[in-house]
Structure 1
């Protein structure tokens, strides 16, 4: 016979009550505050890690007055600093000592709604270096570092430089690897043992070492230096786009290593901070108009050898558009 159940002392359970809107709003507010605190903390952490170069944008006699928009001078240095002998061998960077520019680009961010413009400045360009006479553009950096390079670029373009950033070989590789590689459409197969590079034609994801070889190689095309500057602009746009993608930024396993690699890799002028870097990233993610300084033929320089001679008339049209914060005329873009 079944035992009789005693009545429970507990009152019958009513329907389960859902959290009130007040409770939900408190929880949401708490989460938002926590995210805001984390974001602010991340901001100050990144800002404290940025390495500033003192004096690179100091005023000098005859400096170009401020021009509309914001102009960045982006410099890729061939410095081997931070690379071991084994890494130099693996990356095929060679053993050269000292620091020279491997690539230079002028990025113009307009004040209006036009797209940014990214202009390659061939490192072998024949220019007048203040106080040093006629020489190749990369000699300005070799002689006087970023400060003399800024002065030279301002002098020959008439464009005022507001921000300066440079990166060496080691930092370049680390940034690419931190974002898990960069997708690039390789337009022609490349086999360049000097750059440690062998790539098939087509779209593929490049590792840090492959990307370094890709932007350094002089193989391919009737004008190797011209093709090289095109690859550098192509790569820069691809790596910034990848770094700014939600999949990288939201994931702490990629965003934190990226922040560490980027702040270790780059050097900026002492006045450049996180907000400036953010504006740079947003501009590069906006698919900027890309071009190279119009040139044609060579020029014999006093020190010996030849340098790339700019088409002065077309170059003036290009740089006048930038310093007046206007779009570069289509005929100049089409010519390149």
Structure 2
């Protein structure tokens, strides 16, 4: 039963003046339709109750205490509003409409979701910092390991290098030049041609300019030079006069300072190639040469140390003689440098150790050389032997110039050689093959 059906309901608790039709279709009257006598007939006992704030209970407020002043006009504050006493229906309605603890209001759920997403965002923001710290720690560890390993390798190479006094007092130039010597050292024994002592049958000048291509140029072993007023082939200067006179003669031919020297013993060449696991060499002719012990089928082959040594020594079965041999010697040293600088060698510690031991046993260098010097030489070798490098021989005017007491010699073209090396040092010479031999073959 609604409040409007109860005849005792005071007017103050009547529904809002919204018109509603009864079952018979008549429109009931609102409080405003009543006469003043009817409106004032509501008993004071049914006046609204005030809820006790501390306990939630209600008490009748039909009589205003004297201590409470009459309410003035204006909007009531929250504390001034009177709350009607709950009825059974309103209590049931309130109970049924009160959300349970498991279902929060949508605003609360939104705030909870926002807080959760905010926490996840903070976690995501923190996660990259944690990952970055881990990456930095790993990189620092690897750097420390590499540094320690690098220092160990440096000490190992530096302590194993055999050094000697080779260099002259010639001022340094704008590029770095290495004199590479292949020595047929006999240690007092006699060679097949009756000669004794040490001869440098391989003479190469490796030049690395500041800008431009690297170059690897051969000087023929029979080149005619003059030392202390006497004529001689350049390959005999080391055995007859010593290290510095040989370097001085090469500086006379090139017109440039020699900054470093590396002398390779031919006997040690075989151990270097074997430590590398062989190198690939190419030659377009069949060869069966007993003096050099080179036995070759035309084409490219991976060879061991003994075959590489025969490949670099053979000249009697070569139509170009000593010039052809110089070309094959450049190929052998270039192949060694390429394989030694390859990842398959540098990343294989046991193999790298074997190659390093073999190289240090076979090579002697100048006093100022360091492991860094050797590394730069190796890279310059690789660059000069590649497609973007410069290879060839020096220029000559007569490849069969005969001198009494010396024999058949190569008479060099001093002016053209000085100009050639000036361009190589400046880095202005284009890549390709140079020298008189290249011009004759072209």
Equivalent in the alignment of 1:5: none
Displacement of 1:173 in angstroms is: 0.9
Match of 2:217 among 96, 119, 123: 119
Which whole-Å CA distance do the structure 1 matches of 2:236 and 2:361 have between them?
A: 26
Equivalent in the alignment of 1:252: 349
In structure 2, the CA distance between the partners of 1:147 and 1:216, relative to structure 1 (3 Å rule), is same
* 1:57 maps to 2:167: yes
Q: Report matched runs for 1:173-192 at 5 Å.
A: 173-192=270-289
How many residues are aligned here?
A: 304
Task: Give the gaps of 5 or more residues in structure 1.
Answer: 1-17
Displacement of 1:311 in angstroms is: 3.3
Is contact 1:299–1:308 with CA below 8 Å preserved after alignment? yes
Is contact 2:213–2:431 with CA below 8 Å preserved after alignment? no
Deviations 1:14-67 (A, max 9, x none): xxxx9x63445434432331232112111111111111102x1142xxxx4332
In structure 2, the CA distance between the partners of 1:298 and 1:219, relative to structure 1 (3 Å rule), is closer
In structure 2, the CA distance between the partners of 1:23 and 1:67, relative to structure 1 (3 Å rule), is closer
Is contact 2:276–2:351 with CA below 8 Å preserved after alignment? yes
* 1:103 maps to 2:202: yes
* 1:147 maps to 2:147: no
Equivalent in the alignment of 1:318: 420
Deviations 1:139-165 (A, max 9, x none): 211212321100111123211111011
Q: Report matched runs for 1:1-336 at 5 Å.
A: 21=131, 22-23=133-134, 25-54=136-165, 56-59=166-169, 64-80=170-186, 97-112=196-211, 114-129=212-227, 131-286=228-383, 287=386, 288-295=389-396, 296-327=398-429, 332-333=434-435, 334-335=438-439
Is contact 1:107–1:117 with CA below 8 Å preserved after alignment? yes
Displacement of 1:206 in angstroms is: 1.0
After the TM superposition, which of the residue ranges 291-300 and 147-156 deviates more from structure 2?
291-300
Is contact 2:183–2:265 with CA below 8 Å preserved after alignment? yes
Displacement of 1:324 in angstroms is: 4.6
Which whole-Å CA distance do the structure 1 matches of 2:419 and 2:300 have between them?
A: 35
Displacement of 1:99 in angstroms is: 0.8
Which whole-Å CA distance do the structure 2 matches of 1:149 and 1:280 have between them?
A: 20
Is contact 2:225–2:231 with CA below 8 Å preserved after alignment? yes
TM-score, normalised to structure 2, is 0.64
In structure 2, the CA distance between the partners of 1:66 and 1:292, relative to structure 1 (3 Å rule), is same
Displacement of 1:184 in angstroms is: 0.9
Task: Give the gaps of 5 or more residues in structure 2.
Answer: 1-126
Higher relative contact order (CA 8 A, sep 6+): 1
In structure 2, the CA distance between the partners of 1:268 and 1:110, relative to structure 1 (3 Å rule), is same
After the TM superposition, which of the residue ranges 258-267 and 290-299 deviates more from structure 2?
290-299
Deviations 1:113-142 (A, max 9, x none): x1111110001011222x142221112112
- RMSD of the alignment, in Å? 2.7
Displacement of 1:328 in angstroms is: 6.2
Q: Secondary structure at the match of 2:206?
A: strand
